[in-house]
């Protein structure tokens, strides 16, 4: 039988941590039960492990008690890091014990999966350096600043690279659970679990749920001024040449500083600002799609639709029908 270890993140736990722990136990219990119904043996045993005996959360509302100390587990097959309050390197001896244990287990062949902001713990171990990763879109700027060696892909719901899995925000951890069930059990077991828990299978993007706010914590005053300039010129088609000239800086140097500060090229940034504005209009107004398109500086319906879908995963019409009930009957 394989062994699954859920890491308890100690003082960094929150409501989502508890939800993730419960969800993992319930999902793998159901998968094992499905195996037994088919005349097979349970595939996984699941344990919650930490470095303390228990922790009381939210004024005594919850008491989380790890079943085993992490040091007592010499070999595991799958480690799952639940969502937690994002934390960084050098935050205490207990975290370093977790980091060292995870590195040792991965080197010995264990797979590791992180859920939502659990990616901060995984990245702190160094195991994500040079690899792709996803996390909650709300934490993207802080994550990029803290872990520049990690290839953050916040549009991706799930990443899978060399035995390390990560996923996007909040309760999308359930999609990762379905993915892991299929990976370790089989497709039919995953479909069964998706039906029992009513979770979509094969969902691969969190773009439709993200809110683009623009990274402004970088400290580059010129770039921040350029960002504000772009955000105030939604209706215009801006060229990088004009932007760089406006700030009296060469095009190549402007590009380099902008990408370093924001993680986007100036063109990408302008596009994301425009699409975010279009999303808000589609969510809250009864304007037609064409009206919204013109307001954010597009004149070609096909081009607008393609850019919108690239950034959100769905078409403008699908987006409006999903988030704006009042405007749902307006098909233009």
pLDDT for 330 equals: 54
**Which among 271, 269, 226, 262 is positioned nearest to 244, based on CA atoms?**
226
Considering the domain boundaries, does residue 71 fall inside one?
yes
Residue 31: pLDDT band with limits 50, 70, 90: very high
Q: Among positive and negative, which fits the CA dihedral 15, 34, 166, 47?
A: positive
Same domain, 24 and 160: yes
329: pLDDT strictly greater than 60: no
Q: How many CB atoms lie within 10 A of CB 71?
A: 10
**What is the distance between the terminal CA atoms of the chain, rounded to a whole angstrom?**
56
Q: Which of 106, 161, 160, 155 is nearest to 135 (CA)?
A: 155
pLDDT at 89: 47
Report how far residue 49's alpha carbon sits from residue 21's, in angstroms, rounded to the nearest whole number. Answer: 11
Q: Which of 179, 209, 239 is the last residue of a domain?
A: 209
Query: Residue 12 maps to which CATH number?
Result: 3.40.50.880
Residues 205 and 240 in one domain: no
On the CB side of 38, CA atoms within 13 Å amount to 15
Cβ(279)–Cβ(293) below 8 Å:
no
- The string of DSSP letters for 255-283 reads HHHHHHHHSS-HHHHHHHHHHHHHHHHHH
Q: Is 114 helix (H, G, I), strand (E, B) or coil?
A: strand
Which residue range forms the structural domain that includes residue 110? 2-209
Q: Find tokens 């005594």 and name the residue.
A: 60
Residues comprising the chain, all counted: 332
CA-wise closest residue to 215 among 230, 204, 233, 234: 230
- In the listed set 183, 209, 235, which residue is the last one of a domain according to the structure? 209
Which residues have a Cβ under 8 Å from the Cβ of 219 and sit 6 or more positions away?
261
231 found inside a domain: yes
Asked whether residue 34 falls in the same domain as residue 147, the answer is yes
11 and 137 together in one domain: yes
Short-list 202, 164, 147, 152, CA closest to 313? 202
Q: Do 253 and 114 have their domain in common?
A: no
The reported pLDDT for the residue numbered 328 is 55
56 assigned to some structural domain = yes
**Are 52 and 18 in a shared domain?**
yes
Examine the pLDDT at 147 and tell me if it is beyond 50. Answer: yes
Predicted local distance difference test score (pLDDT) of residue 88: 54
pLDDT band at 235 (very low <50, low <70, confident <90, very high): confident
Contact 115, 176 (CB under 8 A): yes
Mean pLDDT of the chain: 89
């Amino acid at each position: 039988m394989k062994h699954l270890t859920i890491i308890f993140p100690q003082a960094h736990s929150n409501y989502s941590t508890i939800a993730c722990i419960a969800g993992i136990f319930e999902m793998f219990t159901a998968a094992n039960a499905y195996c037994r119904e088919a005349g097979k043996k349970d595939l996984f045993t699941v344990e919650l492990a930490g470095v303390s005996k228990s922790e009381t959360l939210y004024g005594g509302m919850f008491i989380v008690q790890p079943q085993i100390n992490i040091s007592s587990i010499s070999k595991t097959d799958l480690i799952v890091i639940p969502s937690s309050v994002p934390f960084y390197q050098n935050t205490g001896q207990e975290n370093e014990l977790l980091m060292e244990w995870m590195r040792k287990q991965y080197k010995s062949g264990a797979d590791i999966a992180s859920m939502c902001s659990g990616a901060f713990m995984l990245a702190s171990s160094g195991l994500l350096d040079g690899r792709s990763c996803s996390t909650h879109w709300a934490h993207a700027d802080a994550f990029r600043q803290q872990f520049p060696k990690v290839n953050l892909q916040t549009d991706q719901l799930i990443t899978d690279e060399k035995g390390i899995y990560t996923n996007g925000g909040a309760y999308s951890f359930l999609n990762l659970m379905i993915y892991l069930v299929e990976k370790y059990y089989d497709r039919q077991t995953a479909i069964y679990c998706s039906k029992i828990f009513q979770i979509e299978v094969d969902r691969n993007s969190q773009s439709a749920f993200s809110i683009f706010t623009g990274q402004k914590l970088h400290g580059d005053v010129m770039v921040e001024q350029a960002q504000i300039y772009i955000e105030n010129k939604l209706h215009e088609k801006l060229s990088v040449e004009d932007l760089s000239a406006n700030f009296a800086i060469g095009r190549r140097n402007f590009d380099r500083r902008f990408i370093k500060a924001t993680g986007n090229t100036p063109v990408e940034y302008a596009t994301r600002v425009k699409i975010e504005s279009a999303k808000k209009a589609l969510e809250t107004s009864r304007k037609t799609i064409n009206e919204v398109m013109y307001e954010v500086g597009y004149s070609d319906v096909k081009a607008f639709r393609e850019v919108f879908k690239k950034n959100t995963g769905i078409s403008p019409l699908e987006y409006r029908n999903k988030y704006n009930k009042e405007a749902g009957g307006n098909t233009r």
